[in-house]
Structure 1
Amino acid sequence: MILLQAQHVARYFGADVLFENIYLEIQENSRIALVGRNGTGKSTLLKMIADIEQPDAGKIVKGKQVTIGYLAQNTGLSSEKSMWDEMLTVFEPVIQLEKDMRTIEQQLGDPALLSNEELYQSTLNRYDHLQNRFREENGFSYQAEIRSVLHGFRFYEDDYSKHISQLSGGQKTRLALAKLLLEKKDLLILDEPTNHLDIETLSWLENYLQSYTGALLIVSHDRYFLDKVVNEVYEISRQKISHYKGNYSKYLDLKAAQLEQEWKEFEKQQGEIAKLEDFVSRNLVRTSTTKRAQSRRKQLEKMDRIDKPQGDEKSARFSFKSEKESGNVVLTLANGAIGYEDTILSSPIELDVRKYDSIALVGPNGIGKSTLLKSLIGHLPLIQGEKHLGTNVLLGYYDQEQSDLNSTKSVLAELWDEHLTTPEKDIRSILGSFLFSGADVEKSVSSLSGGEKARLALAKLAMNKDNFLMLDEPTNHLDIDSKEVLENALIDFDGTLLFVSHDRYFINRIATTIIELSENGSTLYLGDYDYYLAKKAEQEEMRLLVETKTAETSKVEPVPTVKGNREINKAEQKTLRQLTRRIETIEVEMDELETIISNCETQLIDPEVFGNHLRVQELNTEINVAQEKLDNLVGEWEEKSLQVEELQ
């Protein structure tokens, strides 16, 4: 079933065209990526589809009952409520159903109602209807669902009472996405949903969206994420839109094949045109062949000429070259600890960076990856440890906040002021390779977009010709094309790299070594990101195997998981076993209570029973007692389950 169509949609800015004649169709369960360069109008089109903006031409057509959820770029949840209370607002209809059910349960025990058979039966029917709706709308598990989604976004029990107004911008963005997922709209429109998410949370979100029951329309520069989630791609380029079936990698293959075919058709027609024009020029003046020449000329005039394939739009040309070679040992850190004041985020950290290494730092948000880089360059002190920079090492640093850019300067001055002996034409040439041309170089830094600031910061880094680059989230704000250009430039770089990134595709292309940071320090993996994932899976499989064998030998129930990479101590093992056994007992008791409630409800609609007022009252009392016990058990089950998750 078609949920929505964009039909011949356009956006104009005076005489300028952002895009026009856009056609896009969304079916139920569609998984669509909208891609294109920064500035092509992707976010504008999403706002039109979400009915936030109106098109200048064309129309958006959607079903009357279709519900749409929209998450804008870098938006945050704004509320004065606590985190938990705000999530509960999603389930207000279910909560009201539960209140109505409790009210009717009390009414069913009223002797006055029991004496009126017709009113009693209608009340009982209404109760049965409400109970069915309550079950259908996940009434027994909505709190567990809230906890599950919040946990996926790395919010835990201690966070639930926090007021949203006290959260950071990144936390508010994650919470806005969490609420949107809980609302289960027919169409979910997400504009850069992967911002502010670490790799672990990204993996959780990918899995969640793969099983999402509605349709998805996503703008993202995370190619790994798109490959996992989408199966259709719409590309906006040169004011037009093109449609491809498949994930992002398949789209690239199809686009390349399409361009190759267009070139073949163009070149074939150009050959035919050349032959016809040659025939006409040689034979038009001859009496014996002039008619055939005129015929060929008419054929040329009627020919529907194929435009020359344009391919991709203009790309940046990044290049990083080192001025001189460093020694073989670039950087070492022994027994390092990072953090703030008395708070240690990660320890012990061991680094041994050698010439030509390309090392990616990975780990959850808040573990101190950026802090480590800043500690290594001296912007922050190490809490402990000894670092040593090697011989002839020239260190360059890319700050994800672009704090080294001067907002009061022009683009040209920002680069030229640090290289005064370089001719202006050379500075302009370098800026041109980073897509700053013409009047762009006179723009003030403060007026630049996030992507433009990122390109300017990279241009400054390239000008310094350092042989050891530390990069903190260098792909932030870059569109996919610029990311690919940056990747190729770093692959060709003749120096050493140490970088932090959440872009798994970028890590996989650049890194030859992965260092994982945790609260227990650093772990080294000698391979790319795919190797790192495979090794982690292998370690987990081995751990489970050893755990199972240990359990079989000791006749002790196996503990399903461990906490990080640490060995669980005996106290934790004992607690996990106790919690697991209690959860199993609770589940059995819940099944028994649900059976009791179901049997009582079946008896209540039996004609032989509902005429017996005393028996009806007994059954209602039994239902109320069983339901109260069930509610308590559900709460305990959720609490014990979360305790198990926290120990894992």
Structure 2
Amino acid sequence: MSMIQVTNLTFAYDGSYDTIFENVSFQLDTNWRLGFTGRNGRGKTTFLKLLLGQYEYSGSISASVDFDYFPYQIKDDTRLTSAIIEELCPEAEEWQVLRELSLLQVDETVLERSFNTLSNGEQCKVMLASMFLKENNFMLIDEPTNHLDAEGRASVSQYLKRKRGYILVSHDRAFLDDCVDHILSINKTNIEIQKGNFSSWWSNKQLQDQYELAENEKLKHDIKRLNEASKQTNHWSHEVEKTKNGSHNSGSKVDRGYVSHKAAKMMKRSKVLEKRQQNAIEEKSKLLKNVEASVPMKMTPLVYHKHQLVELNCVSIHYGEKQVTHDISFSIEQGDRIVITGKNGSGKSSLLKLIYGEPLSYSGTLQIASQLRMSYVSQQTAHLQGNLKDYARNEGLDEALFKSLLRKLDFSRDQFEKDMKHFSGGQKKKVLIAKSICEPAHLYIWDEPLNFIDVLSRMQIEEVLLDYEPTLLFVEHDRVFSDKIATKHVELDS
């Protein structure tokens, strides 16, 4: 057993006023299977790159292990997969390579294929196998699930469950639950480590948040009560002060000793109240610093005048001579939330694009209700650039509503002035989701909308969909999300 020791880590990007980490200290056991979670933009990938020594920082990071990062940058992906594995881990023997591929349910024939001919899922698994062939390395695995279908996620989670010594960045709750034994979370004001999987961490966080909210409410009442008591005491003190010189009208003589004693008691009581009030204010200031606001969002789905919106009958999509879907038949009716499932390469994205109106070649019958308004979220975010104000205007969005949604998804106001090309992958995906939620539509079509999006934002998106019940056609490999949202399933054959 060895430790990774982080001491007084402080880091900010050059030219940025935002400090990503400030005097952060903690230690990690290199035998742990760590799940790494936190809102988009909080610094998860940045922390991994600090471990790799890619940025200068103040403080110290000490470790007796080498760090290895997923995904690898493959310089020439036209080479054979076997040659790439040999370059990544030259000391590995063939039987070891075959063992790791077998554990990941990858056919050994991939070794004799060019790496660029492998599916995204196969490439992901080959790189993971290469990582774990190395000895005395601590693995930094950054969002592998974005490249995996449901079947791939299941096999990779079982593979990682057998391994030790890694930090896994993932926003897939079921995936984290299956393969981690500790959670490393970046909160608003600190980093914390907790034993257990994501579900146990989330349950504990909810209990802590509820306690702090209740304690905050109690202290608010205490402060108000103490403030009123203090005012009353000051009033009494003032009344006592008036009696020191006696009442001129009554002609009575004042017992100055009694008045002084009473005034002293009033002063002492006032000091006690003041101290209790100050203590309550100090206690209150310690609360709510890491409570994540889950502000409800609104959307405006439209009601179509007919029940059936789309019908497909024996639809097959073709790219040249290649047929990517085979005889698909189903209908979309108002209020349906349909998840499209199937292996990578089975044509899920192509099907969504066809229904949305992209000019794809197909056979069979596709009927779409006339004047149907659709809102589409693409897998791709590379086209996003420029500022949010111009983007909202160009897309015909209500700028105030659009930015309000992004604020609820944890965008800071500073983000509104930045060029979108500098956003993280999760922030770019949130732009597309917020745009779609803004758009009044009869049918929402979302293609893997949750890629790169943090867990808490996923929960907010779930809530708005369940609250407003739009008609939705979507592809998503997050099992928890699909189970909560989908009312129907359509599975494609590969």
TM over 0.5: yes
In the TM superposition, residue 164 of structure 1 has moved relative to its aligned partner by 3.9
Pairing partner for 2:209 from 237, 259, 266? 259
> How many Å separate the matches in 1 of 2:115 and 2:293?
43
Partner of 2:98: 144
Q: How many residues align?
A: 459
- One-letter amino acid of the structure 1 residue matched with residue 393 of structure 2: W
Tell me, yes or no, if the aligned pair for 1:339 and 1:368 is still in contact at 8 Å. no
In the TM superposition, residue 406 of structure 1 has moved relative to its aligned partner by 6.6
SS at match of 1:160: helix
| 2:413 counterpart of 1:411 | no
Cα RMSD over matched residues? 3.1
> How many Å separate the matches in 2 of 1:323 and 1:275?
49
Partner of 1:9: 9
* Structure 1 pair 446–62 and aligned structure 2 pair: CA distance change class (3 A): closer
SS at match of 1:323: coil
Pairing partner for 2:200 from 246, 250, 255? 250
In the TM superposition, residue 219 of structure 1 has moved relative to its aligned partner by 1.4
> How many Å separate the matches in 2 of 1:241 and 1:430?
30
Tell me, yes or no, if the aligned pair for 2:308 and 2:369 is still in contact at 8 Å. yes
Partner of 2:134: 183
> How many Å separate the matches in 1 of 2:135 and 2:403?
46
> How many Å separate the matches in 1 of 2:469 and 2:116?
47
Partner of 1:480: 455
SS at match of 1:177: helix
Tell me, yes or no, if the aligned pair for 2:45 and 2:142 is still in contact at 8 Å. yes
Q: Map Cα deviations across residues 191-226 of structure 1 (whole Å, 9 max, x no partner).
A: 1122211111111110011111x2221111112211
In the TM superposition, residue 186 of structure 1 has moved relative to its aligned partner by 4.6
Pairing partner for 1:427 from 388, 393, 399? 399
| 2:60 counterpart of 1:83 | no
Map 1:545-560 → 2, pairs under 5 A: none
- One-letter amino acid of the structure 2 residue matched with residue 296 of structure 1: V
- One-letter amino acid of the structure 1 residue matched with residue 70 of structure 2: L
* Structure 1 pair 391–328 and aligned structure 2 pair: CA distance change class (3 A): farther
In the TM superposition, residue 172 of structure 1 has moved relative to its aligned partner by 4.9
> How many Å separate the matches in 2 of 1:463 and 1:94?
52
SS at match of 1:470: strand
SS at match of 2:21: strand
* Structure 1 pair 394–279 and aligned structure 2 pair: CA distance change class (3 A): closer
* Structure 1 pair 406–282 and aligned structure 2 pair: CA distance change class (3 A): closer
In the TM superposition, residue 457 of structure 1 has moved relative to its aligned partner by 2.4
Pairing partner for 2:300 from 318, 321, 325? 321
In the TM superposition, residue 255 of structure 1 has moved relative to its aligned partner by 0.7
> How many Å separate the matches in 1 of 2:99 and 2:322?
33
- One-letter amino acid of the structure 1 residue matched with residue 279 of structure 2: M
* Structure 1 pair 264–470 and aligned structure 2 pair: CA distance change class (3 A): closer
Partner of 1:365: 344
* Structure 1 pair 413–326 and aligned structure 2 pair: CA distance change class (3 A): farther
Map 1:166-205 → 2, pairs under 5 A: 172-205=123-156
Q: Map Cα deviations across residues 29-57 of structure 1 (whole Å, 9 max, x no partner).
A: 31222211111111121222334434323
Map 1:434-449 → 2, pairs under 5 A: 434-435=406-407, 440-441=415-416, 443-449=418-424
> How many Å separate the matches in 1 of 2:188 and 2:267?
43
Q: Map Cα deviations across residues 149-189 of structure 1 (whole Å, 9 max, x no partner).
A: 5x63x4551x3233447768776554322311222545222
* Structure 1 pair 346–94 and aligned structure 2 pair: CA distance change class (3 A): closer
Partner of 2:251: none
SS at match of 2:133: helix
Pairing partner for 1:282 from 224, 232, 248? 232
In the TM superposition, residue 298 of structure 1 has moved relative to its aligned partner by 6.3
Tell me, yes or no, if the aligned pair for 2:392 and 2:402 is still in contact at 8 Å. no
Q: Name whichever of 174-183 and 509-518 sits farther off.
A: 174-183
Q: Map Cα deviations across residues 250-290 of structure 1 (whole Å, 9 max, x no partner).
A: 21111111122223333444444445444443335244122
In the TM superposition, residue 507 of structure 1 has moved relative to its aligned partner by 1.0
* Structure 1 pair 78–327 and aligned structure 2 pair: CA distance change class (3 A): same
Q: Map Cα deviations across residues 338-390 of structure 1 (whole Å, 9 max, x no partner).
A: 23122122312111222211111111111111011122233143432101123
Tell me, yes or no, if the aligned pair for 1:244 and 1:254 is still in contact at 8 Å. no
Tell me, yes or no, if the aligned pair for 2:101 and 2:129 is still in contact at 8 Å. no
* Structure 1 pair 427–274 and aligned structure 2 pair: CA distance change class (3 A): closer
* Structure 1 pair 79–446 and aligned structure 2 pair: CA distance change class (3 A): closer
* Larger RCO (CA under 8 A, 6+ residues apart): 2
* Structure 1 pair 434–315 and aligned structure 2 pair: CA distance change class (3 A): farther
Tell me, which stretches of 5 or more residues in structure 1 are unaligned?
96-138, 520-648
Pairing partner for 1:18 from 8, 20, 23? 20
Q: Map Cα deviations across residues 373-417 of structure 1 (whole Å, 9 max, x no partner).
A: 1222331434321011236632222211147x674x542232224
In the TM superposition, residue 317 of structure 1 has moved relative to its aligned partner by 5.6
Pairing partner for 2:362 from 333, 358, 383? 383
Tell me, yes or no, if the aligned pair for 1:326 and 1:390 is still in contact at 8 Å. no
SS at match of 1:396: strand
> How many Å separate the matches in 2 of 1:87 and 1:164?
10
> How many Å separate the matches in 1 of 2:84 and 2:29?
31
> How many Å separate the matches in 1 of 2:440 and 2:465?
13
> How many Å separate the matches in 2 of 1:71 and 1:257?
34
Q: Name whichever of 195-204 and 12-21 sits farther off.
A: 12-21
In the TM superposition, residue 431 of structure 1 has moved relative to its aligned partner by 2.2
Partner of 1:210: 161
In the TM superposition, residue 433 of structure 1 has moved relative to its aligned partner by 2.1
- One-letter amino acid of the structure 2 residue matched with residue 290 of structure 1: M
In the TM superposition, residue 510 of structure 1 has moved relative to its aligned partner by 0.9
Pairing partner for 1:33 from 26, 32, 35? 35
> How many Å separate the matches in 2 of 1:54 and 1:313?
30
Q: Map Cα deviations across residues 88-110 of structure 1 (whole Å, 9 max, x no partner).
A: 45664465xxxxxxxxxxxxxxx
SS at match of 1:327: coil
Tell me, yes or no, if the aligned pair for 1:34 and 1:42 is still in contact at 8 Å. yes
* Structure 1 pair 24–274 and aligned structure 2 pair: CA distance change class (3 A): same
In the TM superposition, residue 21 of structure 1 has moved relative to its aligned partner by 3.0
In the TM superposition, residue 302 of structure 1 has moved relative to its aligned partner by 7.0
Partner of 1:230: 180
* Structure 1 pair 475–259 and aligned structure 2 pair: CA distance change class (3 A): same
Partner of 2:246: none
TM-score in terms of structure 2 length: 0.82
Pairing partner for 2:275 from 294, 299, 313? 299
Q: Name whichever of 168-177 and 247-256 sits farther off.
A: 168-177
> How many Å separate the matches in 1 of 2:266 and 2:158?
71
In the TM superposition, residue 328 of structure 1 has moved relative to its aligned partner by 1.3
Tell me, yes or no, if the aligned pair for 2:143 and 2:452 is still in contact at 8 Å. no
Partner of 1:69: 68
- One-letter amino acid of the structure 2 residue matched with residue 47 of structure 1: K
TM-score in terms of structure 1 length: 0.64
> How many Å separate the matches in 1 of 2:196 and 2:100?
32
In the TM superposition, residue 12 of structure 1 has moved relative to its aligned partner by 3.2
Tell me, yes or no, if the aligned pair for 2:151 and 2:343 is still in contact at 8 Å. yes
Tell me, which stretches of 5 or more residues in structure 2 are unaligned?
241-259
Tell me, yes or no, if the aligned pair for 1:47 and 1:53 is still in contact at 8 Å. yes
> How many Å separate the matches in 2 of 1:293 and 1:344?
85
> How many Å separate the matches in 2 of 1:463 and 1:474?
15
> How many Å separate the matches in 2 of 1:169 and 1:234?
27
Tell me, yes or no, if the aligned pair for 2:229 and 2:273 is still in contact at 8 Å. no
Tell me, yes or no, if the aligned pair for 1:76 and 1:173 is still in contact at 8 Å. no
Tell me, yes or no, if the aligned pair for 1:467 and 1:494 is still in contact at 8 Å. no
